[in-house]
Amino acid sequence: MVLAATPLGDVRDASPRLVEALRTADVVAAEDTRRLHWLASALDVKPTGRVVSFYDQVEVSRLPGLVEAMRAGSTVLLVTDAGMPSVSDPGYSLVAACVAEDLPVTCLPGPSAVTTALAVSGLPCDRFAFDGFPPRKQGERRKWFAALKTEPRTVVFFESPHRIADTLADAAFVLGADRAAAVCRELTKTYEEVRRGGLGELAEWAVDGVRGEITVVLSGAEPSQAPTDLASLVAEVRQRVADGERMKSAAAEVAEAAGVSKKALYDAAVSGR
């Protein structure tokens, strides 16, 4: 199987190897077949192999047929709408199936919104983590950000334009308005925009509406931001309980993020120390 990165927006970012793979693959599995045909036309290449859809809702049902095709010696090329397959896009399940069957897997490297946003963010990129999409519900989203409160690495995540304002507001509420971040919109496209600033400032900017594909880069926590004394951790647990969380789960998540004993923190929160 061949995983191939596709352009984020500008078709000139397509590699010659991608063009050749589209021309010669026996099977092309595409997240969106219409998008594939548009890309092929823009690149002036005509796929000669069978084209099948491979999006979230059909991913599982397509696996047996694609694996069987590879067993028979066919070259299967997997592409998504933009960027690298498997990175918050279909692909992981097929790779895992190939590994389980001891079938060869290779990759044609290329564009990725994660590394592109990281590079232009202006934030440290010597160590970073990619965290997919935040939860959609506010309570779960705030818990998600709470787990990043003491994360020392830069964090990259995706978000929908319809939820970005609420997400940035929750991030500012949990992590602080001054935590540095960058919102990267429409990377490599005509209206590319990178907004840099504190979470509070970015949340205010997003209130008026943000359009396009969005990648957010969040700075890591400064050492001084990490609450290390028990009293601070207990206060954080109690605040989360006041916001509606169960004491046990709140204590467990805060303790894990701070690297302290879950039992010790829970006991301290319950006893009132």
In this prediction, residue 23 has a pLDDT band, given cuts at 50, 70 and 90, of very high
DSSP string, 120-187: HH-S--SSEEE-----SSHHHHHHHHHTTTT--SEEEEEE-TTTHHHHHHHHHHHH-TT-EEEEEEST
Query: In the chain, what is the greatest distance between 2 CA atoms, to the nearest angstrom?
Result: 70
Domain ranges of the chain: 2-111, 114-225, 230-271
Same fold, 2-111 and 114-225: no
The SS3 call for residue 255 is helix
- The chain-wide mean pLDDT, for the chain, equals 93
The SS3 call for residue 87 is coil
Mean pLDDT of 31-40: 96
| pLDDT, position 226 | 47
* 238: pLDDT strictly greater than 50: yes
Listed as own residue / partner, the contacts of 197-200 with beta carbons closer than 8 Å and 24 or more positions apart are 198/172, 199/168, 199/171, 199/172, 199/175, 200/172, 200/176
* 227: pLDDT strictly greater than 60: no
Mean pLDDT of 127-155: 94
60-70, pLDDT tens digit by residue?
A: 999 999 999 99
| pLDDT, position 89 | 87
In this prediction, residue 253 has a pLDDT band, given cuts at 50, 70 and 90, of confident
In this prediction, residue 262 has a pLDDT band, given cuts at 50, 70 and 90, of confident
In this prediction, residue 72 has a pLDDT band, given cuts at 50, 70 and 90, of very high
- pTM value? 0.79
200-216, pLDDT tens digit by residue?
A: 999 999 999 999 999 99
| pLDDT, position 144 | 95
| pLDDT, position 3 | 97
156-212, pLDDT tens digit by residue?
A: 999 999 999 999 999 999 999 999 999 999 999 999 999 999 999 999 999 999 999
Mean pLDDT of 50-74: 95
Q: How far apart are CA 272 and CA 129, in angstroms?
A: 35
In this prediction, residue 272 has a pLDDT band, given cuts at 50, 70 and 90, of low
Q: How far apart are CA 62 and CA 103, in angstroms?
A: 16
79-107, pLDDT tens digit by residue?
A: 999 999 998 889 999 999 999 999 999 99
Please provide the CATH number assigned to the domain covering 114-225.
3.30.950.10
Q: Which CATH superfamily hosts domain 2-111?
A: Tetrapyrrole methylase, N-terminal domain (3.40.1010.10)
From the list 47, 51, 134, 58, the residue with the least C-alpha distance to 90 is 58
